[in-house]
Amino acid sequence: MKHLRGLDYCDSIRGAVVSIGNFDGVHRGHRSMLALLVRRAGELGAPAVVFTFDPHPIVLLRPNEIPPPLSTTTRKLELLEPCGADCVLVYPTDLALLALTPREFFDRIVIGRLAARGLVEGPNFFFGHDRAGDIDTLAGYCSAANLSLDVVPPLTVDGQIVSSSTIRRLILDGQVGKARTLLGQPYQLRGKVVPGARRGRTIGFPTANLEQVRTVLPSDGVYAGQARVDGVWHAAGINVGPNPTFAEQARKLEVHLVDFQGDLYDRDLDVEFFERLRDTRPFASLEALKEQLQHDIDAARGIFSRESI
């Protein structure tokens, strides 16, 4: 799959069938839409192109209202790779783009720069300044320009509409298992390993303390998951939140890699969440804490083994 940034080198994808959107998390609803994109492009003998934005337009328009994203652009590209599109075009979002009216966006970008032969979008697609253009606006423009337009209905899983906002709420609530069902894969984040109190090492449960996490963080609690080091996944027990047993109130992200030995400082670590195990709570003694941690690690190891089958 080809990656392009901006429109300066887009001649090779002119005449494509295009899906435009943020695709945050590349969840099952997105993949359903992209499956139709690839099929429609194949019918027309045209490239299938995903058009997305970096940063999300809200970063420029309403910086105080930015919801934590589900994926960075790098992660988004990883998730889009198996979807079958020929190219992902990442547009560097700027105020000039956001000032375009719906008509200008369609004429200048969709027709002028991309020479698109068709579009595939969801019913809640908005475009142009102040999101003034909706799917009906787009349908009128496409009809007049003789472009095909496929509107893909929302995907429903277990009675719930799949959307980035719904998945974000589930993760913020700690419901990482339900979020995984809608995403189609475990929720993954990335952070840099930094020095911590190093208390875990002294009690037999060393942890990697992660900072610089740019995506949504689950609610406080202990989770089972996995972490990737040098391309290899390891079972992981993950703690999000303070450490009340030691009167520490700072919110942290700590990851214990089960049966792993090695130095991770200053490295980026990918972490995936499988299940929530329990709430964060204080313990009456160090021994009680160690007993619970061992129980958590045994549970994480078992869940990882089950996931690896």
Looking up tokens 């999300």, which residue turns up?
56
Quote the CA–CA distance of 135 and 92 in Å, as a whole number.
23
Residues of the chain with CATH 2.40.30.30: 186-308
204 closest CA partner among 245, 261, 243, 154: 261
SS3 of 163, please?
coil
Token pair recorded at residue 230? 């040098």
The residues that bridge with 221 in the sheet, in sequence order, are 240
Quote the CA–CA distance of 178 and 157 in Å, as a whole number.
10
Residues of the chain with CATH 3.40.50.620: 2-157
Quote the CA–CA distance of 112 and 90 in Å, as a whole number.
17
Quote the CA–CA distance of 301 and 257 in Å, as a whole number.
10
Does this model's pTM top 0.75? My answer is yes
Q: Which residues contact 164 (CB under 8 A, 6 or more apart)?
A: 22, 24, 25, 27, 70
pLDDT at 21: 97
Burial 210-243 (b: 16+ CB within 10 A, else e): beeeebbbbbebbbbbbbbeeeebbbbbbbbbbb
Quote the CA–CA distance of 123 and 116 in Å, as a whole number.
19
The residues that bridge with 20 in the sheet, in sequence order, are 51
Token pair recorded at residue 302? 């078992």
* pLDDT in 10s for each residue of the chain, 309 residues: 999 999 998 999 999 999 999 999 999 999 999 999 999 999 999 999 999 999 999 999 888 888 999 999 999 999 999 999 999 999 999 999 999 999 999 999 999 999 999 999 999 999 999 999 999 999 999 999 999 999 999 999 999 999 999 999 999 999 999 999 999 999 999 999 998 766 666 677 899 999 999 999 999 999 999 999 999 999 999 999 988 766 677 899 999 999 999 999 999 999 999 999 999 998 988 899 999 999 999 999 999 999 987
Quote the CA–CA distance of 285 and 268 in Å, as a whole number.
33
Quote the CA–CA distance of 30 and 36 in Å, as a whole number.
10
Q: Which CATH class is domain 186-308?
A: mainly beta
Look at the alpha carbons of 15, 18, 20, 26 in this order and tell me if their dihedral is positive or negative: negative
Q: Which CATH class is domain 2-157?
A: alpha beta
